[in-house]
Homo-oligomer: A and B are copies of this chain.
Amino acid sequence: MSETSKNSRRSFLKGAAAAGVGAVAAATTARAQGTPDPLITEVQPWATGLGDGVDATPYGLPIEYEADVVRRNVPWLTADPISSINFTPIHALDGTITPQGCAFERHHSGAIDLRKEDYRLMINGLVDQPLVFTYEDLERFARINRVFFCECAANTGMEWAGAQLNGAQFTHGMIHNMEYSGVPLRTLLEEAGVKPEGKWVYVEGADASSNGRSIPLEKALDDVLVAFKANGEALRKEHGYPVRLVVPGWEGNMWIKWLRRIEVMEGPVESREETSKYTDTLANGTSRKWTWVMDAKSIVTSPSPQAPIKHGPGPLVITGLAWSGRGAIKRVDVSKDGGKTWETARLANPGQPMALTRFYLDTSWDGKEMLLQARAMDETGYVQPTKKMLREVRGENSVYHNNCIQTWWVKETGEAENVEVS
């Protein structure tokens, strides 16, 4: 922190305290100098007895007081719980890593139970040598580690129809961000030897849906990973244990779980998941397809409908996440007035390609209502659009690829609501 910003902050806090508007300094000074606070002046029960020993939890879960920080679904969204979705509690998280335990799920025929011993990965089609790998085989290839976001193409999809879901978890929670360890798909394809006429790969999972998708060979040879660890440990069952595909920056539907087969082909398959689904129907009834890349997007996670402001006017940290499937986030702006004026937020760390970036706006709240928005810019110069701009190009028939600017109406009470501004 620079001396200048430090001093201006202290001045601000002192000013706030002097004005008696409930700033941090005022609150804490009162506790230290005014009425004694027994929680600090008296010996508490937890300071006198013994707590849990190290045998309590060989694998630990969050403390009971965090029981609301879980994946949630929206029952009316889909009738069938098996082929359904849930959402990461992004309103309650900070930093950038998403713990596997609360990272969103999307299944097409449910999360299957597949042992490492039963795992096989076949590479066939236009290759010099068809190959079948066991899990142990995969562990013998040089592997790499990278952090990437995975966003469902349908994330924010319900918002095409208006301001529908009241919480960042539900509007933007079909995303997670993990450190993957895996073998570059390029390595395995080179092991099999791709024939000159091979231009695409078709990838499918071992579950009943198989969820097959076509990927251009150029992408397959670029940065796609055959991953077996996330955030250091084995993939969770619901994320494709023991092996999933990681397709950086591209829609989550292509990140095939329980990865079973990779066929090298001359052209794409035009499978169900890339024709009737995961395309964008335009106003004239035709559909955009091969809309693989997730464009730059951002969301204020706090304050938000599930994370209201619980204090009075004064210092307020506005925070959120930004990402782009085309590279690194370079800048995030925040508006408090529905997009009329913008302030540039602080990025917690320099943006990394195709990974979540945390932003903060360290500000002062005057206690009045706000129309909070965030707007991301990525390294290509692309700027996150308004919903109006998206609708002008795409019409109103879309479900997928909604990367519009989101608005939270923060009321004088500190509560927030999902609204749409023209």
Contact B94 A143 (CB under 8 A): yes
Which chain B positions have C-beta within 8 A of A311? 136, 140
> Does A1 belong to the interface (CB within 8 Å)?
yes
Q: Given A115-B65, A118-B44, A208-B50: A32 and B130 within 8 A (CB)? A: yes
A5 and B318 alpha carbons, distance in the complex (Å): 47
Partner of A191, one of B10, B37, B66: B10
Instruction: Name the residue on B nearest A55 (C-beta).
Output: B81
Which chain B positions have C-beta within 8 A of A130? 32-33
Which chain B positions have C-beta within 8 A of A44? 118, 206
Within 8 A of B (CB), among A184-219: 184, 186-187, 190-191, 206-208, 210
Q: Given A69-B234, A94-B181: A54 and B84 within 8 A (CB)? A: yes
Within 8 A of B (CB), among A1-47: 1, 6, 9-10, 13, 24-25, 27-29, 31-33, 37, 39-40, 44, 46-47
A241 and B61 alpha carbons, distance in the complex (Å): 12
Which chain B positions have C-beta within 8 A of A52? 107, 110-111, 237-238
Which chain B positions have C-beta within 8 A of A283? none
Which chain B positions have C-beta within 8 A of A98? 232
Contact A137 B59 (CB under 8 A): no
Most B CB contacts (10 A, CB to CB) among A55, A107, A233, A238 go to A233
Contact A358 B145 (CB under 8 A): yes
> Does A389 belong to the interface (CB within 8 Å)?
no
A52 and B63 alpha carbons, distance in the complex (Å): 25
Q: List 7 A-B contacts (CB under 8 A).
A: A47-B208, A54-B85, A55-B81, A56-B238, A65-B116, A93-B233, A136-B311
